[in-house]
Amino acid sequence: MDLWVDSLRKPPDGWVWAKTSSGAIDALCFGMVERLSLGYNLGGRDGTHLVIRWMRENRMWPREIRIHNASPAGVEWLTRMMDRYRR
């Protein structure tokens, strides 16, 4: 499964769309996500950093992870989190 996590931007054709971190985590729980594409801010206090923390705590990392955020600071922050926690 390909999982797109973003509260505003629509996913490419064929991707499952999670608009919240809890929706993304629910999808990841099944272990079927092969490709993951992350935005950064999902609205309010919700963000994809919560998804990365869940993946770290559960040692469940998709084969491929992309970041599709427009903010360079958001991309850098998420990339550093993944580099630190994914091993």
What pLDDT score was predicted for residue 64?
A: 95
What pLDDT score was predicted for residue 74?
A: 87
Find the domain containing 35 and state its range: 2-85
For the chain, the helix, strand and coil percentages under 3-state DSSP, each to the nearest 5: 35, 25, 40
pLDDT-based confidence at residue 69 (cuts at 50, 70, 90): confident
Q: What is the pLDDT of residues 20-64, one digit of tens each?
A: 999 999 999 988 999 999 998 898 999 999 999 999 999 999 999
Q: How many domains does the chain have?
A: 1
Work out the angle between the directed axes of helices 72-85 and 49-58 (0-180°, nearest 10).
Answer: 10
d(CA 38, CA 42): 10
What pLDDT score was predicted for residue 39?
A: 93
Asked whether the predicted pLDDT for residue 8 surpasses 80, the reply is yes
